[in-house]
């Protein structure tokens, strides 16, 4: 499969297959971010399609010297999610369902007790994340589940680099007060996946 910059160049030259490939390459990560912020599959799907369609329609505005395509796309996605939440006036969202997404299918079927214990631990992590204010939730999602660097986060959130770092630090401090060390290790494990 072609790399993102090659696909962008081909799409800018009018190759519709390149646009389709860009869409397919970035759809899952965009959906996961949108779902994590909205906690609603239908809304996340609509935001994903809207963000990707906007990015592809406006590909001439993308500047690789300012940000990666993923960072630019996630900036658009965050903006669309914020708009959707404002329209719905949702005070908070649950991230419990996000835990089931992206589980390792390769692993053997675990023992039922172990599976139940793992689900309970994940549920506790997500309940704690749900208690964070929206700015801290966005920071945790971008850092741990979307895998962005602090610099990319600052670009996406349109804030200074120290603010992005501070938001993750504050979120983690809040979570440390609510979770056991094992649960925090599970949170950090999510980043590695």
Q: What does the pLDDT look like over 159-186, one tens digit per residue?
A: 999 999 999 999 888 888 888 766 666 5
Whether 4-88 shares its CATH topology with 112-192 is answered no
Structure tokens at 22: 């860009």
Q: What are phi and psi of 58, to 5 degrees?
A: -110, 30
CA distance 193 to 189: 7
Band (pLDDT 50/70/90 cuts) for residue 113 is low
119: pLDDT strictly greater than 90 = no
| pLDDT band, very low/low/confident/very high, at 116 (cuts 50, 70, 90) | low
Is the per-residue pLDDT at 109 higher than 90? no
The torsion of the CA quartet 8, 70, 94, 39, rounded to 10 degrees, works out to -10
- Tens of pLDDT, residue by residue over 20-31, are 999 999 999 999
Looking at the domain 112-192, which fold is it?
Arc Repressor Mutant, subunit A (1.10.10)
The per-residue pLDDT for range 51-84, each reduced to its tens digit, is 999 999 999 999 999 999 999 999 999 999 988 8
Lookup result for tokens 């630019």? 72
Evaluate whether 150 touches 168 at the Cβ level (below 8 Å): yes
Domain 4-88: CATH architecture, name and number where available: Orthogonal Bundle (1.10)
Res 15: pLDDT: 92
Query: For the chain, which residues make up each domain, given as ranges?
Result: 4-88, 112-192
Residue 107, pLDDT > 70, answer no
Calculate the CA 105 to chain-centre distance. 20
Percent of the chain with pLDDT over 70: 74
């Amino acid at each position: 499969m072609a790399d993102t910059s090659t696909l962008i160049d081909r799409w800018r030259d009018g190759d519709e297959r390149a646009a389709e490939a860009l869409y397919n390459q970035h759809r899952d990560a965009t959906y996961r971010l949108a779902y994590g912020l909205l906690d609603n599959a239908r809304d996340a799907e609509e935001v994903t399609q809207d963000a990707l369609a906007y990015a592809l329609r406006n590909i001439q505005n993308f500047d690789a010297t300012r940000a990666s395509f993923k960072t630019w796309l996630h900036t658009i996605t965050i903006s669309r999610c914020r708009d959707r939440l404002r329209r719905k006036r949702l005070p908070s969202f649950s991230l419990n369902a996000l835990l089931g997404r992206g589980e390792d299918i390769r692993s053997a079927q675990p023992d039922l007790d172990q599976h139940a214990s793992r689900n309970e631990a994940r549920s506790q992590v997500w309940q704690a994340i749900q208690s964070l204010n929206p700015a801290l939730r966005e920071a945790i999602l971008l850092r741990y589940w979307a895998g962005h660097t602090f610099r990319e986060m600052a670009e996406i959130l349109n804030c200074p680099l120290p603010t992005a770092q501070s938001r993750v630090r504050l979120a983690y401090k809040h979570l440390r007060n609510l979770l056991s060390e094992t649960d925090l290790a599970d949170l950090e494990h999510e980043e590695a996946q």
